[in-house]
């Protein structure tokens, strides 16, 4: 009997039409379109199309392979005529580290498309591409995204890295996953009529189930996701694919599964994650990272746990500046601190990038399902449910009023695409049941008609941040002969952007060396040199050893000034080298 149901289900899936299945009809062209979701194959096609259209600005790297052998790509945008990629501030962007969070990939593709198609016609974009370098990985979890779009799922399905795991400790791996029993392309919920059940239908909206009160007669028992007892152990759906959470498996502050669910057996046990980490470590110029997820409408910064302590003041000033501006760019999003305003995480990607690579970083949580609303202006003025007030309504909400709004949105704006009505089904174990609930392409994902504004606004937040990566300029001033063959040289390094040339946390933790300011020349000797503490009183903190080499860090919206006494004559070469802010070389004549 079970095999018969599985065969029927497989046949139904073949003829089912869903969001993902319909995508294959689209042809990828440049500029890209953002009114549907790209499959994995289409993402690769889009990257190849952009690379072919803009070969002078792009480089397409195969970063590595996933557990199931799928390719992970990174596209670099850089103008080699204005300098090597590693000589410029680098902005890293990725998406879809969780396989079901597909709008994240659309943000990265939109960014690539927007930068390239506007280069040469938009002055700000042209200057940005000329002076910065972008590294963009559209899909981190290529297996998860593939299976989410291709297979039947619920809105949270195929979220993790697909590393087989024996969840029920029976010696078998991933053998009892949910199944699409009715063949509608979604893994929905099962419910059974039960007068002793703990749930009943909402009197105003029977599609919603609400808990019964003490002493109140029940109507339904919830049976979990659609599925059978495939391994005959008396449990249903207890051993699905995975589970390694791609955002709990990185090599900084990793904790095992009993502390952090989804951690994996050891850091970087995810094959694709390890390949991405190795790739990032070849790009020391990355000073800013953006990783996109879904859901909630948030811009998160670290620290990821309370134990780490707050970032240094200068870093917080930068985060506040960019975070508050990003809130304006994307209305209703909240700029928050991860551990403090959401929850603690261990072994997550952004903390690894910030702490181990010395970058700044934000996580963008994209879709706000409370935007799936059906209210008039007058109704919007009324007090909102508590979850909406906190910005975590919609998918995460347990408030029936929020669900009613979402159902009205489904009924009147998507003509029923987002919700599968409850329908009867004869289950081999449970007998007569009903199957229904939110469709796969709902809850965590905006309907395609809402997609373009979401991706444009979030890409604009990235662009704003990129504009405020370090822009250090050097000025040689106060060059003066002060003695017989002895010269005073003053140098000012100024930064017009919000981001320092090196994060204060990286400097404090000695993640990598500070910027270097060096003076050299044939027949020239640097007698002494140091930081100017009071320019007008000629106060200088001279360095005792190797004065020709000064270790510096240029603050955001700030400057540092140094003074040197130099003997000799001829050409004096002054060089500023920064891992994140690039290199500047100037030559002056001593005569």
**What is the model's pLDDT at position 12?**
37
**What is the model's pLDDT at position 9?**
41
Q: Parallel, antiparallel, or unpaired for β 286-293 and 90-95?
A: parallel
**What is the model's pLDDT at position 389?**
44
Phi-psi region of 102 (alpha: psi -120 to 50; beta: other; left: phi over 0): alpha
What the chain holds in terms of domains, given with CATH numbers, is: 31-148+243-366+448-467 (3.40.630.10), 165-240+370-438 (no CATH), 472-590 (2.60.40.10)
Q: Report the sign of the C-alpha dihedral through residues 512, 515, 517, 518, in that order.
A: positive
Q: What is the DSSP string of 3-24?
A: HHHHHHHHHHHHH---HHHHGG
**What is the model's pLDDT at position 240?**
85
Q: What SS3 class is residue 586?
A: strand
Low-confidence residues of the chain: pLDDT under 70: 1-26, 381-398
The reported pTM is 0.92
Q: What is the DSSP string of 510-577?
A: TSSPPEEEEEE-TTEEEEEEEEEEETTTTEEEE-SS-TTEEEE-PPTTEEEEEEEEEEE-EEEEEEEE
HSE-up (13 A, CA, CB side) for residue 2: 11
- Apex CA 59: angle with CA 56 and CA 65, to 5°? 165
Please, are residues 554 and 519 in contact by the beta-carbon 8 Å criterion?
Answer: no
Task: Quickly count: other Cβ atoms within 10 Å of residue 312's Cβ.
Answer: 15
**What is the model's pLDDT at position 375?**
85
**What is the model's pLDDT at position 398?**
65
Cα separation, 142 vs 67, in Å, equals 9
Q: pLDDT (tens digit, 9 = 90+) per residue, 20-68? A: 434 445 678 999 999 999 999 999 999 999 999 999 999 999 999 999 9
DSSP annotation of 29 reads: -
How would you list the strands of the sheet with 133-137, edge to edge? Answer: 58-65, 71-77, 133-137, 90-95, 286-293, 360-365, 298-301, 334-337
* Bridge partners (DSSP) listed for residue 265: none
């Amino acid at each position: 009997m079970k095999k018969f149901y599985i065969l029927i289900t497989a046949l139904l899936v073949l003829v089912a039409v869903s969001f993902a299945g319909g995508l294959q009809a689209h042809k990828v062209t440049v500029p890209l379109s953002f009114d549907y979701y790209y499959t994995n194959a289409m993402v690769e096609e889009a990257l190849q199309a952009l690379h072919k259209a803009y070969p002078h600005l792009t480089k397409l790297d195969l970063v590595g392979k996933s557990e199931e052998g799928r390719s992970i790509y990174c596209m670099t945008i850089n103008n080699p005529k204005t300098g090597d990629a590693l000589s410029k501030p680098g902005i890293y962007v990725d998406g879809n580290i969780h396989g079901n969070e597909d709008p994240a990939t659309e943000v990265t593709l939109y960014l690539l498309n927007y930068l390239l198609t506007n280069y040469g016609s938009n002055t700000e974009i042209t200057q940005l591409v000329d002076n910065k370098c972008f590294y963009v990985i559209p899909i981190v979890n290529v297996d998860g995204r593939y299976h989410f779009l291709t297979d039947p799922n619920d809105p949270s399905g195929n979220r993790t890295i697909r590393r087989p795991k024996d969840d029920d400790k029976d010696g078998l791996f991933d053998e009892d996953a949910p199944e699409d029993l009715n063949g509608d392309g979604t893994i929905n919920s099962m419910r059974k009529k039960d007068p002793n059940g703990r749930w009943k239908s909402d009197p105003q909206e029977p599609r919603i189930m609400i808990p019964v009160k003490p002493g109140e007669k029940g109507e339904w028992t919830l049976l979990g996701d659609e599925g059978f007892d495939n391994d005959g152990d008396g449990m249903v759906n207890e051993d699905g694919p995975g589970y390694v959470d791609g955002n709990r498996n990185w090599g900084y502050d990793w904790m095992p599964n009993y502390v952090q669910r989804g951690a994996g057996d050891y850091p970087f046990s995810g094959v694709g994650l390890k390949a991405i980490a190795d790739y990032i470590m070849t790009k020391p110029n990355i000073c800013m990272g953006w990783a996109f997820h879904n859901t909630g409408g948030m811009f998160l910064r670290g620290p990821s746990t309370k134990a780490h302590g707050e970032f240094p003041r200068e870093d917080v000033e930068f985060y506040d500046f960019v975070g508050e501006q990003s809130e304006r760019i994307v209305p209703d999003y909240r700029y928050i601190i991860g551990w403090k305003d959401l929850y603690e995480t261990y072994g997550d990607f952004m903390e690894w990038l910030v702490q181990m690579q010395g970058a700044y970083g934000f996580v963008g949580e994209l879709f706000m399902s409370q935007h799936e609303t059906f209210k008039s202006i007058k109704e919007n003025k009324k007090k909102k449910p508590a979850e909406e007030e906190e910005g975590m309504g919609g998918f995460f909400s347990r408030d029936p009023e929020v669900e009613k709004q979402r159902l009205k949105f489904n009924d009147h704006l998507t003509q029923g695409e987002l919700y599968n009505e409850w329908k009867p089904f004869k289950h081999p174990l449970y007998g007569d049941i009903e199957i229904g609930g939110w469709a796969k392409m709902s809850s965590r994902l905006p309907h395609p008609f809402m997609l373009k504004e979401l991706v444009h606004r979030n890409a604009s937040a990235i662009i704003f941040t990129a504009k405020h990566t370090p822009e250090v300029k050097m000025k040689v001033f106060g060059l003066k002969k002060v003695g017989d063959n002895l010269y005073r040289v003053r140098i000012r390094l100024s930064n017009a952007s919000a981001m320092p040339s090196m994060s204060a946390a990286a400097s404090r933790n000695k993640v990598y060396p500070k910027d270097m300011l060096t003076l050299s020349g044939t027949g020239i000797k640097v007698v002494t040199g140091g930081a100017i503490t009071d320019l007008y009183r000629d106060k200088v903190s001279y360095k005792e050893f190797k004065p020709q080499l000064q270790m510096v860090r240029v603050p955001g919206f700030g400057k540092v000034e140094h003074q040197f006494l130099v003997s000799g004559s001829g050409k004096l070469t002054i060089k500023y080298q920064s891992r994140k802010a690039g290199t500047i070389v100037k030559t002056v004549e001593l005569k």
